[in-house]
Amino acid sequence: MQEENENIQFQLTDELVEQVELLIEEQNDKALKKQLDAYHYADIAEILDELNLDNAIYIIKLLGSETTSDILMELDEDNREKVLKNLSAKEIAEEVEELDTDDAADIIAELSEERQQAVIDQIEDEEHKAEITELLAYDEDTAGSLMAKELVKVYETWTVAGCMRRIRGQAQEVTRVHSIYVVNKEEKLIGRLSLKDLIVAKSEQKISDLVKVNVDYVNVNDDVEDVAKIMAKYDLEAIPVVDDNKTLLGRITIDDIVDVLKEEADKDYQMAAGITGDVEADDSIFELTKARLPWLFLGLVGGVGAFLIMEGFEGLFTGKAVILFFFTPLIAAMAGNVGVQSSAIIVQGLANDDVRGSVNSRLIKEMLLAALNGFILAIFLFLFVWAFKGEIITALAISISLVAVIIVAGLIGTFVPLFLNKRGIDPAIATGPFITTSNDILGILLYFWIAKTILGI
């Protein structure tokens, strides 16, 4: 019962990619255009990401710039860079003319300094050119770098009827009208209106009678993460951006924030796994090595540290006590796991703004928690060693050390991210290999020291 406007979920398959490649090879532009026109630009971008560079550029040059500009925005960053390198400044300027100012500025920002100016010079629309140049001046990670200049703005002195007439013009160039921003004659933001409010109002009403003055806004220099938190907390779909004088400069929409939140989450996740630099599974081996090797090197240094400790205790533990050495991987693993668990909880709590109360109360809680977990685990370990070796004193020494190691690992996992956060350093670096390695070394040291004391050697 397929209907005319049935919307089949797009599926990227090898067959589809091969089909497109064949059409390019045959230079069958008509069939190619017809097939691609049926897809959403985000889907075409997925196809292009699978093609080789020549074929991707073939399609970019085949389709009109209204479509290709959107496709460019959706391409994988690496692929976009390659495609842009193969377009002239004039061609890039044509793409940029079709984009909203925020996307246009993002594209241009990815070019080399000389090319940036060359492309800007080729933009014909003078207003668009000026707005893009303004956006390029804002620092990365500020609200300014995320905002678009496109918005619907009305003056408080207008009437509803006059307003409707004039916003018809403005709305044409704004993809989505979330809010209508109301300014006074000095262009300062004084409030907002929804299209709904305007439709429901009587046509002779003054805007100043309808405006909601309790409007959320952010400063152009505010941090992007703070903007994301505000928009998520207050369920906003767009937020106006102002300067220090409260002059309305632009607006940020929720789709950009969704991207920010996603990047943030991906970054923290990778950091916890010992990967830096925002890499993807499809990046080159060289890029992946750059992202992974430093953390592995840290692990190597930690392992050498553990070696030196064990070497130092070599003389002490002979005969029956040699069994202690065989439990070092267990001790290191437990210290690492507990440390990662407690640091992850703290880092996530800090990101979600729900870690409050004093550092001391956190540490006491983690100590009780680690003691409880450690005690349960130690019972099992005690029973195993006792059953296996039949020596209560050795079993006791190993189990008691385990409890101590787990408590200390939990405290370090809790304290380090809290400390880094207080110092203004991203606490996420304290998860993963960093905490594992330091807990490994400290855990093994503590283990040998306590065992030595209990065994009286």
In the window 382-441, what residues touch its own copies (CB under 8 A)?
Answer: 384, 406, 431-433, 436-437, 440
Write the binding mask 251 to 280 for its own copies: x where contact by CB under 8 A, - elsewhere.
Answer: ---xx-xx--xx--xx-xxx-xxxx---xx
Minimum CB separation from its own copies for residue 204, in Å? Answer: 16
Distance in angstroms (rounded) separating the CA atoms of residues 254 and 249 = 17
Minimum CB separation from its own copies for residue 225, in Å? Answer: 13
Q: Which is nearer to its own copies, 357 or 456 (CB)?
A: 357
Minimum CB separation from its own copies for residue 286, in Å? Answer: 9
Minimum CB separation from its own copies for residue 90, in Å? Answer: 28
DSSP one-letter string for 59-109 = HHHHS-HHHHHHHHHHS-HHHHHHHHHTS-HHHHHHHHHHS-HHHHHHHHH
Task: Give residues 221-240 in contact with its own copies (rule: CB under 8 A).
Answer: 230, 232-235, 237
Minimum CB separation from its own copies for residue 440, in Å? Answer: 6
Contact between 333 and its own copies by CB under 8 A: the answer reads yes
Task: Give residues 10-29 in contact with its own copies (rule: CB under 8 A).
Answer: 12
Task: Give residues 192-221 in contact with its own copies (rule: CB under 8 A).
Answer: 194-196, 199-200, 213-217
Task: Give residues 134-193 in contact with its own copies (rule: CB under 8 A).
Answer: 164, 167-168, 171-172, 174, 176-177, 190-191
Strand partners, 248: 242
Distance in angstroms (rounded) separating the CA atoms of residues 272 and 427 = 10
Cβ(294)–Cβ(428) under 8 Å?
Answer: no
# binding residues, its own copies (CB under 8 A): 120
The pairing of beta strand 248-253 with beta strand 238-242: antiparallel
Task: Give residues 52-81 in contact with its own copies (rule: CB under 8 A).
Answer: 76
Distance in angstroms (rounded) separating the CA atoms of residues 330 and 111 = 51
Which ranges of 253-358 does DSSP label H, i.e. alpha helix? 254-272, 285-313, 323-326, 328-351
Contact between 108 and its own copies by CB under 8 A: the answer reads no
Number of H helices, E strands in the chain: 22, 6
Minimum CB separation from its own copies for residue 161, in Å? Answer: 12
Cβ(51)–Cβ(81) under 8 Å?
Answer: no
Contact between 302 and its own copies by CB under 8 A: the answer reads yes
Distance in angstroms (rounded) separating the CA atoms of residues 217 and 227 = 9
Tokens linked to 12: 């990227």
